Structure 1
Amino acid sequence: MSQRKIGVLLVNLGTPESPTTKDVRTYLREFLSDPRVIEVPKYIWFFILNLFVLTTRPKDSAKNYETVWTERGSPLLFITQDQAAALEKVLPENYEVVVAMRYGNPSIQKGLDELLAKKVDKIVILPLYPQYCAATTATVFDCAARTLKDRRYFPEIHMLSDYYRNPLYIEACKVQIEKALENATIDELVLSYHGMPKRTYDLGDPYYEQCVETTRLITEALGRSDIKITTVFQSKFGKIEWLKPYSFEYLPSLPSQGVKRVAVFCPGFSSDCLETIEEMGVENRDYFMEQGGEYYQFIPCLNTESLHIEMMKQIIVDSN
């Protein structure tokens, strides 16, 4: 009896086609039009988005994207592609791995079409978000469901929701941090997660608790009683209250408290991108150093580290 053919759709957030104002505007329009991302009545948000956000933000964002763009293009896209290639090498031969972006290209529709064309018997969708959030994980499900709803046939679909407690994920974070800090002396390790409006927490989204639990598990795995380990939230957008503490406020407050040597790691991101490389690697570093900081180390995301790929393999295979 032949083995079932399993398709894997590896989904990340997305990226503009290029670091130009035009392409960034196209990307932001799709991203910020998602009602899971912006939970504001549509008729109100439509005017805010088109009259204010999309007339100003794309130009500034394009300048930031230029700083992280490489010869291979967007780091988030090519790192995700590298992850898929590495994953396919360690999975059994009956697995096919395809990359998709929730916003931008390659789209989830294109990814699913590619797997269906390969006549797979089952599709496993892995959103590359360790912690579940309605604005990230759930919107992947929404998009996949919309893509498949009009099809006469599609195979068994299995969507994974989170992996923040997976032992290999925690071990991968531990190893990445230990490797980076091998020759460094720091006072504090700051674990930065993407922020969300506080209202989402009040409505019952488990994201905040999962981030806090991730920090607890990493702290336990590291066993470093000599340094303080803290959770912060980055990428605040708009004027409403978001999950706290904010990275841009917390980090520059440290030198006045005698904390002048820090390292920053982003456990909520599966691959380096604008929000890690530029925001946490440059922008927040500048805030910290301007207030008297002496040493700031940005630790890269898990990217294609072997334990990270092995974890993906494990949760995909275990889902069958």
Structure 2
Amino acid sequence: MDFDLREFVHRHQPNFPIRRIGRLVTDTTDFTSIGYGDVIRLGDVHYLVLRDEAERRFSIEDFKFWVKRCTTLETRQPAILKLVFHEEFTQRIGPLSIRSFRSETKEARILDLVRDDPRFMQGFSLRDEAGNLVRVLDIIRGKRLDMAIYNLPGTHREYFDTDLYAMLVRFISACEAIKFLHDNGERHGDVRRDHLWLESGTGTARWIDFDYAYEAHANPYALDLFGLGNVLLFITGKQIFTPREFAHMDGADRIVEDDHSLIFRNRLVNLRRLFPYIPEELNRVLMHFAAGSEVFYETVDEFLTDLRPCLDLVPQPKEEA
């Protein structure tokens, strides 16, 4: 008996327009040809494609054509399907060049490792009929950490007095999650502030996107560590400060070249130049990622050893009577 795709979709999703039902896809190799209304079959489960996912970076929407937002027809539950996409590029940390590439097997391995750990996105992997390893991901209900912070009202001082403590608590938990990966011989590979989400309701900080791998022999965890430094920089400053933002601020005249990031030379790391009320100890953690630093963190443990005591140096929420 032939499989009637239209009847199958209509039975499970009666409100979906029949005229927009596409084709049944069992080989996801050509992911750019898979679009709205197509149905991807993995094993015995069918996923109705609704759209391509997108990341918004630098005010530009960057569509990820290999990542599909879907509805699971059998359960009517939402899901994200990450299809196999091989990409390679070189990153630089100071004088070092590091080859980075996407690895679907690495991400599948980490999904197995972090199953039921609320600090990470959740999902599992299935192969399509062509052997492509597709990752099936749960959707995290919440906001990106950076957008949650950036959208908080008020000045930096108000943020420092009322919200920084809570954000640091969440961030320290997220750092401990990265340490868990490292302790198990894994690396996140793409630690960025838009890859850390705050879950609605629980407020838990959760990492997403584990498919980048990289070759770094001197310190295999260097990119993850510098990524954590960049996230901490945003959390402490409530935003990233470049010459365009700080040019007319008090203290800008004291900024020197060594106050900027080792990797992103236009980003100010020495935030005490602008906000002298930031504790020296917290600023000192940031300065390990500055162009003028001679000592860098080699492990997340070292990073956390310096960061945890800073919680006692920033204003804590007042308990209600």
TM-score bucket of the superposed structures, by smaller chain: under 0.3
Q: Which of structures 1 and 2 has the bigger CA Rg?
A: 2
**Which has a greater percent of strand?**
2
**Which has a greater percent of helix?**
1
Report the TM-score, using the length of structure 2 for normalisation. 0.26
Report the TM-score, using the length of structure 1 for normalisation. 0.26
